[in-house]
Amino acid sequence: MAVLSRQIYVNLPVKDLNASKAFFKAIGFEFNMQFSDEKAACLVVGENIFAMLLQEEYFRTFTNKDIADTSKSTEVLIAISADSREDVDGIASRAIAAGAKSNGSIDHGFMYQTSFDDLDGHTWEVAYMDPSALEG
């Protein structure tokens, strides 16, 4: 069996696509314009990882279920890695400055993480794990 190079696309409903794009640009993310238009924006999270920010009306065309009310429930926790503790704090600081709600930080010693809710209430966790802690 051949090993496939997989990509992941997380689809997230957003109320205001332009505001969401500005928010993620302020944090330091880029968009793949090949998969973006007036209804959707392809946020590049990593080499093969993307978040499709979809206007709520457009998002509804992909599901028969209700869209989660993120002020009352959590539909997903999106976790991304960072290169250092400083990188964790930098991403979080830029997110807060761009309008995110901080959920605080946790220091486990071997792992440092923080989380924030974006403009639409989606929770993003940013974590750095010390590679030396993984060694036996």
Instruction: Give pTM, 2 decimals.
Output: 0.88
Q: Is 57 helix (H, G, I), strand (E, B) or coil?
A: helix
CATH architecture for residues 9-62: Roll (3.10)
Given this model, what pLDDT does residue 105 score? Answer: 97
| CATH 3.10.180.10 segments of the chain | 9-62, 74-136
**Cβ neighbours of residue 22 closer than 8 Å, sequence gap 6 or more:** 98
Given this model, what pLDDT does residue 2 score? Answer: 65
Given this model, what pLDDT does residue 42 score? Answer: 98
Given this model, what pLDDT does residue 133 score? Answer: 78
Per-residue pLDDT of the chain in tens (136 residues, 90 and over written 9): 566 788 999 999 999 999 999 999 999 999 999 999 999 999 999 999 999 999 999 999 999 999 999 999 988 999 999 999 999 999 999 999 999 999 999 999 999 999 999 999 999 999 999 888 776 6
40 strand-pairing partners: 54
CATH architecture for residues 74-136: Roll (3.10)
Given this model, what pLDDT does residue 117 score? Answer: 97
Task: Measure the CA–CA gap between 13 and 2, rounded to whole angstroms.
Answer: 34
